Amino acid sequence: MIGRFLRRLARLPARLPRGLLRAWRRSITLRVVTATLVLSVTVLALLGQLVMRGVRDGLVDSKVSASRAQAAAGFASAQSRLEAAGTPQRANVGQLLTQIVTALRDQAGSSSLYELVLVPSPTVDADVPAGRLRIATGGVRPASVPAAMATALADEPGSRADRFVSICYGGTDEPCAPDAPRLPAFVVGTQFSVSGAGSYQLYFLFPMTAEAKTLDLVQSRLALAAGALLVLLGAIAALVTRSVVQPVRSAARVAERLAAGGLAERMVERGEDDLAKLASSFNGMASALQRQIGQLEDLSRLQQQFVSDVSHELRTPLTTVRMAADVLYDGREDYPAPAARSAELMHDQLERFEALLAELLEISRFDAGAAVLEAEATDMRTVVRRVVDGVEAMAAAQYGSRIRVEEPTRECIAEIDPRRIERVLRNLVLNALEHGEGRDVRIRLAVDDEAVAVSVRDYGVGLRSGEAALVFNRFWRADPARARVSGGTGLGLSIALEDAHLHGGWLEAWGEPRAGAQFRLTLPRAAGAVLRESPIPLEPVDRRGPRLPPVPGPHHAPEQDPEVARDG
């Protein structure tokens, strides 16, 4: 039942206005205090009712027994007076009865402990003078005694009856007016007969004014106590919740600061209770985190130092070897053929070794997190031009490929590290040349408000499905049996990807077997901005739509080269 009540309480917020709703959702204190108050009110109401009923029953019971005893004594005294009077004369009956009633009333003194009513039994004929006799003390109307009671007494002469009634005051003969003020009372009655004058009924009416007053008093005191108790309970609930919520809030604050990098942040530990335990566990966790991060940092520093040392230690002897090899290579014409060829081989392979070493060091610098972005505002067009200038001659001589560039006329300024981006683009272009089977390589540069993108498209062997994701893996080769012409190291694209990521940019590949491949580099124009979309689609424009040889038409961009498109 309490569960259902709580569930209903939880649904209550739907009906609350918005601000209150938010406070309800966010404040545990509010919820706990409200729940405590609602439960306490229910319990106190039940308890109050129980107490009130007990008090009332007690009061009424003692009143009833006292009244019965009083009435019994009264009846006995009335009976003895009647017997003493013997058989009165018919005319004196009224006088006698009045005397008896007055005497009985006088026994109560001036207090209004009881009033008396004497009426003829309903069996007495109302037309005889005795039938009209009605005596009442204290202004009580005889009609206050219910007719049912009178009838019951008349049916069983000599018996006594009692019940609760409400009495009204006024003349002796009229019935009670419906709107007359009434008082609760206990009435005890009996019927007796006066010899020769018929039967009469005598009623003791005990007003319960004092008891009603006591009950009112008890009720008001109880309500006061309940109110005070409610305030107390509410305050206790608020206090307890606060003392629990406060450390939780402080834990949340410290956790936020920890997450923001303040690894030395700790909670205050006080006492030995559960909350202190929370604080100490929390601090233990923070210390463990700090220790682990510190260890990782140390490791990273060690790695960086190692890379740096290897770099220096390897490069100095390599420089000497390199210079010696160059001197030998320059003089190779003076040597016998085997020695001359050896000098050539050594020279070439040293170059490859050097490139491999440089890339290994570069990638380990990325792995150690030591790579730093040196961003400066640069026009991407100049970077592209520089790359093209650098490889154009080699492309024509070694691969028989031309490099075509399509770039916007407006500036393409972006905050980039030109050395890194130039390296990325050179890698992409060399990669395109190597796999382009002597066909042209197409570079497209595009820019929008937030990003700048360069795509490098070749029309060579392309990529099989699934390979687009693999090309950036270290030392990955599409076809391990295929000889490398340019002697690439297998790390170029991995480094390019790392460089792109360092800029917060994307480097993606698209390819289809025999349709060539396209690599797209997208960089945010402002350093640190987050990319949402690229100005160039990943799938090349000349491969969109149905996989059919493209037909020259207006929907093809003017830069479309039909010859190349047929190749694709």
Partner 1 sequence: MKQRVLVVDDDIALAEMLTIVLRSEGFDPIVCGDGDSALAAFRERKPDLVLLDLMLPGRNGIDVCRAIRAESGVPIVMLTAKSDTVDVVLGLESGADDYVVKPFKPKELVARVRARLRRQEEPTPAALQIADLDIDVAGHSVKRAGVPISLTPLEFDLLVALARKPWQVFTREVLLEQVWGYRHAADTRLVNVHVQRLRSKIEHDPERPEIVVTVRGVGYKAGPA
* Gap between the Cα atoms of 278 and 267, Å rounded: 9
Helix 337-367 vs helix 492-502: crossing angle, to nearest 10: 30
Q: What is the CA radius of gyration of the chain?
A: 55
- To partner 1, the closest distance from the beta carbon of 492 in angstroms equals 17
Site for partner 1 in 334-393 (CB under 8 A): 354, 365, 370, 372, 374, 377-379, 382, 386, 389-390
Output 195 or 319, the one with its CB closest to partner 1: 319
* Gap between the Cα atoms of 170 and 309, Å rounded: 121
- Which distant-in-sequence residues (6+ apart) come within 8 Å of 85 by Cβ? 96
Only one of the segments 165-173, 316-324, 477-485, 498-506 lies at the binding site for partner 1 (rule: CB under 8 A); that segment is 316-324
* Gap between the Cα atoms of 118 and 93, Å rounded: 13
- To partner 1, the closest distance from the beta carbon of 296 in angstroms equals 21
* Gap between the Cα atoms of 383 and 411, Å rounded: 12
- Which distant-in-sequence residues (6+ apart) come within 8 Å of 503 by Cβ? 373, 375, 416, 417, 420, 421, 523, 524, 527
Does 526 bind partner 1 (CB under 8 A)? Our answer is no
Output 156 or 313, the one with its CB closest to partner 1: 313
Does 180 bind partner 1 (CB under 8 A)? Our answer is no
Does 312 bind partner 1 (CB under 8 A)? Our answer is yes
Output 134 or 386, the one with its CB closest to partner 1: 386
* Gap between the Cα atoms of 47 and 179, Å rounded: 35
| The two structure tokens encoding residue 533 | 């979309």
Output 272 or 374, the one with its CB closest to partner 1: 374
Which of 56, 68, 315, 352 contacts partner 1 by CB under 8 A?
315
Largest distance between two CA atoms of the chain: 179
Beta strands at 376-379 and 451-458: parallel, antiparallel or unpaired: unpaired
Helices (H), 143-273: 147-155, 209-259
Does 301 bind partner 1 (CB under 8 A)? Our answer is no
Output 154 or 373, the one with its CB closest to partner 1: 373
Output 315 or 404, the one with its CB closest to partner 1: 315
Number of residues that bind partner 1 (CB under 8 A): 32
Does 422 bind partner 1 (CB under 8 A)? Our answer is yes
Which of 178, 261, 317, 338 contacts partner 1 by CB under 8 A?
317
The letter for the amino acid at 92 is N
Only one of the segments 271-279, 287-295, 313-321, 472-480 lies at the binding site for partner 1 (rule: CB under 8 A); that segment is 313-321
Output 197 or 454, the one with its CB closest to partner 1: 454
| Phi and psi torsions of 517, nearest 5° | -140, 160
Site for partner 1 in 382-421 (CB under 8 A): 382, 386, 389-390, 411, 413, 418-419
* Residues that bind partner 1 in the complex, under the rule CB under 8 A: 308, 311-312, 315-324, 326-327, 354, 365, 370, 372, 374, 377-379, 382, 386, 389-390, 411, 413, 418-419, 422
